[in-house]
Amino acid sequence: MAFKTPKNILLGTVLVVTSISGMAFAAGGGVHGDYKMKHPDWSFKGATGTYDRAAAQRGYQVYREVCAACHSLKYVAFRHLGDKGAPFYLEDYPNPSDNPYVKNFAADWQVADIDSETGDEIERPGIPADYFPDPFPNEPAARASNGGALPPDLSSMVKARGNGADYLYNLLVSYDVPKPADVELTPGLHWNPVMEGHKIAMASPLSDDLVSYEPVEIIDHGKSKIVDAPPATVEQMASDVTQFLAWTADPKLEQRKSIGLMTIIYLLILSILLFLSYKRVWRDVKH
Amino acid sequence: MSGPSTYEPKYAAAKWMDKRLPIIRMGADFMTFPSPRNLNYWYTFGGILALCLVVQILSGVILAMHYVADVDKAFASVQRIRRDVPFGWLLQSMHAVGASMFFLAVYMHMFRGLYYGSYKAPREVIWILGCAIYLVMMATAFLGYTLPWGQMSFWGATVITGFFGAVPVVGESLQEWLLGGYSVDNATLNRFFALHYLLPFVLAGLVGLHVWALHHVGQNNPIGISEKTKEDTLAFHPFYTVKDAFAIAAFLVIFAIFLFYLPDALGHADNYIEADPLKTPAHIVPEWYFLPFYAILRAVPDKLAGILLMLGAIIVLFILPWLDTHKVRSMRFRPIARWFFIFFIFFCFVLGWCGAGTPDDIAVPFGKNSGITFYRVSQIATVYYFAYFLVILPVLGLIEKPLKRPDSITKAVLGDGKHGETLAPAE
């Protein structure tokens, strides 16, 4: 029966691979025929990919100054910005609530609260434990300010679309693609070849030099490093904010990949040892 | 358990216990259980599935400690598990990916049973219990998929519970009773959570019966010839514990690759959007493991007929032992049935492919803008699926001439005649 084993393994592999490719079979997406999707080489892709800290920090700035006017980030707290694997993590501050970046950013936002003395509704500067405040008090208010459309929450946006990072980037950079003559737009809608249905309520949010980038400081292999500010082109800002939102969608990515590597190495060694044990236990047994 | 017990209690405490509750004996008999010596790797999925159930129950119990079953809080509670609960991201992914792995293993296990004729006498009850396990697994997976309260959770639940509304006369009341209201809402979410927590233990009970029946009649094997002598068998431990352990470790490597590197590859992006009863997603598709049945459901234009077909696709599995009347178990010795079986697997994949597609889209293009739609392809595949069980196997049972089979497992392993003399006489 021994000769059957490689055949069976082969058959099994074929089955597994077919099933998996079947499972991963995804509908092609709704990109307009003439538009060619760009596929930037994201730093966080691949088995060992990590977030580009400098880009994600600039991306935070883009979110803060541009997106946050309409889009909430309601599942992300300021303290998350200083967690391990986050854009503003500092080794000296294992507790993100002590992280000076986090404290400053939090204080930069106004958070709705109740005055504990008087019970009045007040606004106070944020603290690290606060979540990113919603730009609108409620859904009707959000719709009223946006021509009836509801700006979606961005916390998990990169996971909430197929191939989300590419989707988001292409959506942001494709506003200048000319509209085909036969497409009619109702007022309040804009042509965008990447958006499902190619019509989007959001006007082009980015334009060159919309934000003024400053050099950012990152920790590279334990050493502080200053990364010069790149020109704030639409592509650059789109790429940076995608880095930031990729992190908000998957904040444990780096932890996940490093634990994964160790786990798989462990399992491979275990498999080899078990295979050798199997061979030894069965050495005198014909089967 | 089959055969007399060979366990001898050695210590006083063990003897004391053995007279009162022979639980150590049960464990010992389990470990010495005589298993056919020619089991291949396809037979390791049983052990893999037991592990899958344990992984799902353990991760699930911990997730339930953090999950909030409330339409306003469910989605946020899953976000909190993924972002703030220590290793919550790991547990949540393990549970979601684990469900896919569970189905992957159960399909391998079922295909193995179909190929080697493991459903034939005297193993009909093992097979039927297995079908019941599969049915409960499907229910559990469906209920669990509702809990994160994403768009696919909500709309999947709406579509599936809508099936009950198609039942004549009592349909609407039945649907309302199941949902606890007129639509999928808080009452639905809460009962789904309660049942999702309950069913895995029902599953564990059924697995106990499945294994009990297996130990009563003994395992089938790749040549489908019953064990006749002691030489035909090996003790479960250490021979199959070590083989299963190796297979489990190899399976866990695949599991880990998905868990750590492709955690979303098997899910749907829309489920990262919170459920919105006012916004229907463009394409409502179930998880991959339901796609073949989804394709069968949509293969006919009538809703009720589709539901009956889908149910029939599972019911037909339950009665399979009486549909395949051929005396020979293993398809190794059934040259014709073997080909039909290979086509059967092929069409199962085709059904899965159709389930993922949109019925009106072109599946097989012929020239420009014409070809066969997914709808037609799924009809062809559905016809084959049912024909395999209801026509091909019953007919082959009457007409197929099997190949020459070895006299025993030992002879199949050691070759015919050459080593025959060295064998101990049959008991």
- CATH number, domain containing residue B382: 1.10.287.980
Residue A27 lies in a domain: no
Residue B173 lies in a domain: yes
CA distance readout (Å), A246 to A154, A240, A249, B188:
10, 10, 5, 33
The residue among B333, B323, B292, B325 whose CA lies nearest residue B388 is B323
Q: Say whether both A65 and A162 belong to one domain.
A: yes
Q: Say whether both A225 and A276 belong to one domain.
A: no
Residues in A touching B104 (Cβ below 8 Å): 16, 19
For range B293-322, the mean pLDDT: 95
pLDDT of residue A5: 59
Q: What residues make up the domain containing B361?
A: 285-415
Residue B2 lies in a domain: no
Q: CA-based diameter of chain A, in Å? A: 85
Q: Say whether both B71 and B181 belong to one domain.
A: yes
Percentage of residues of chain B with pLDDT beyond 70? 96
Query: What residue in A sits closest to B241 (Cα-Cα)?
Result: A278
Q: Say whether both A247 and A265 belong to one domain.
A: no
Question: Residue B235 corresponds to which amino acid?
Answer: A
Triad A43, A44, A47: Cα angle to 5°: 110
Q: Say whether both A153 and A203 belong to one domain.
A: yes
pLDDT of residue B282: 87
B417: left (phi over 0), alpha (psi -120 to 50) or beta: left
Contact B83 A18 (CB under 8 A): no
Q: Say whether both B207 and B261 belong to one domain.
A: yes
Residue A46 lies in a domain: yes
Euclidean distance between CA atoms B162 and B303, whole angstroms: 10
For range B54-71, the mean pLDDT: 98
Tell me which of A217-226, B49-58, B284-293 is least confident.
A217-226
Is the pLDDT at A59 greater than 70, yes or no?
A: yes
Q: Where are the alpha helices (DSSP H) in chain A?
A: 4-23, 53-65, 100-107, 139-145, 164-173, 234-249, 253-281
- Radius of gyration for chain B, computed over Cα atoms and rounded to the nearest angstrom: 24
Residues in A touching B352 (Cβ below 8 Å): 22
Q: In which band, very low, low, confident or very high, does the pLDDT at A220 lie, cut at 50, 70 and 90?
A: confident
Q: What is the dihedral of CA B84, B90, B92, B93, to 10 degrees?
A: 130
Query: Which 215-254 residues of chain A touch chain B by CB within 8 A?
Result: 249, 251-252
pLDDT of residue B169: 92
Our measurement of the distance from residue B352's CA atom to the centroid of its chain's CA atoms, rounded to an integer in Å, reads 15
Is residue A203 less than 8 Å (CB to CB) from chain B? no
CATH code for the domain in which residue A202 is found: 1.10.760.10
Tell me which of A22-36, A242-256, B312-326 is least confident.
A22-36
Our measurement of the distance from residue B285's CA atom to the centroid of its chain's CA atoms, rounded to an integer in Å, reads 20
Q: Do B110 and B133 form a contact (C-beta atoms < 8 A)?
A: no
Euclidean distance between CA atoms A87 and A84, whole angstroms: 9
Query: Which 252-291 residues of chain B touch chain A by CB within 8 A?
Result: 252-254, 256-257, 259-266, 269-270, 272-274, 282-283, 288, 291
Euclidean distance between CA atoms A65 and A87, whole angstroms: 17
DSSP codes joined into one string, A52-65: -HHHHHHHHHHHHH
Q: Say whether both B259 and B324 belong to one domain.
A: no
How many angstroms separate the CA of residue B8 from the nearest CA in chain A?
Answer: 24
Q: How confident is the model over B341-356, as pLDDT tens digits?
A: 999 999 999 999 999 9
Residue B232 corresponds to which tokens in the numbers above?
């035909």
Q: How confident is the model over B229-257, as pLDDT tens digits?
A: 988 999 999 999 999 999 999 999 999 99
CATH code for the domain in which residue B246 is found: 1.20.810.10
Contact B265 A23 (CB under 8 A): yes
Q: Which residue has the tokens 């942001």?
A: A172
Residue A123 lies in a domain: no
Q: In which band, very low, low, confident or very high, does the pLDDT at A247 lie, cut at 50, 70 and 90?
A: very high
Euclidean distance between CA atoms A101 and B276, whole angstroms: 36
Range A138-146, long-range pairs (CB < 8 A, 24+ positions): A142/A70, A145/A70, A146/A70, A146/A201
The residue among B83, B94, B53 whose CA lies nearest residue B263 is B94
Q: Say whether both A144 and A160 belong to one domain.
A: yes
Query: What residue in B sits closest to A260 (Cα-Cα)?
Result: B260
Pairing of strands B233-235, B34-36: antiparallel
pLDDT of residue B413: 86
Q: How confident is the model over B185-217, as pLDDT tens digits?
A: 999 999 999 999 999 999 999 999 999 999 999
Q: Say whether both A152 and A272 belong to one domain.
A: no
Q: What is the dihedral of CA B185, B191, B196, B197, to 10 degrees?
A: 130
CA dihedral over B95, B98, B103, B109, signed as positive or negative: negative
Q: Say whether both A204 and A267 belong to one domain.
A: no
Residue A86 corresponds to which tokens in the numbers above?
């986050």
Q: Say whether both A145 and A281 belong to one domain.
A: no
State the average pLDDT for chain B.
Answer: 93
Euclidean distance between CA atoms B103 and B53, whole angstroms: 11
Q: In which band, very low, low, confident or very high, does the pLDDT at B364 lie, cut at 50, 70 and 90?
A: confident
Q: Say whether both B251 and B127 belong to one domain.
A: yes
For helices A53-65 and A234-249, angle between their N-to-C axes, nearest 10 degrees: 100
Q: Least CB-CB distance to B246: which of A18, A156, A274?
A: A274
Contact B253 A267 (CB under 8 A): yes
Q: What domain count does chain B have? A: 2
Q: What domain count does chain A have? A: 2
Q: What residues make up the domain containing A57?
A: 35-76+132-251
Is the pLDDT at B419 greater than 60, yes or no?
A: no
Residue B67 corresponds to which tokens in the numbers above?
């999950």
Query: Which 59-98 residues of chain B touch chain A by CB within 8 A?
Result: 76, 79-80, 82-83, 89-90, 93
Q: Say whether both B33 and B156 belong to one domain.
A: yes
Is the pLDDT at B37 greater than 50, yes or no?
A: yes
Is the pLDDT at A28 greater than 60, yes or no?
A: no
Query: Which 133-192 residues of chain A touch chain B by CB within 8 A?
Result: 152-153, 155-156, 159-162, 164
Is the pLDDT at B11 greater than 50, yes or no?
A: yes
Q: Say whether both B33 and B60 belong to one domain.
A: yes
Q: Say whether both A139 and A281 belong to one domain.
A: no
pTM of the model: 0.92
Residue A216 lies in a domain: yes
Q: Say whether both B40 and B81 belong to one domain.
A: yes
CA atoms within 13 A on the CB side of A208: 3
Is the pLDDT at B23 greater than 70, yes or no?
A: yes
Is the pLDDT at A43 greater than 80, yes or no?
A: yes
Q: Least CB-CB distance to A274: which of B100, B104, B249?
A: B249
pLDDT of residue A1: 40
pLDDT of residue A187: 87
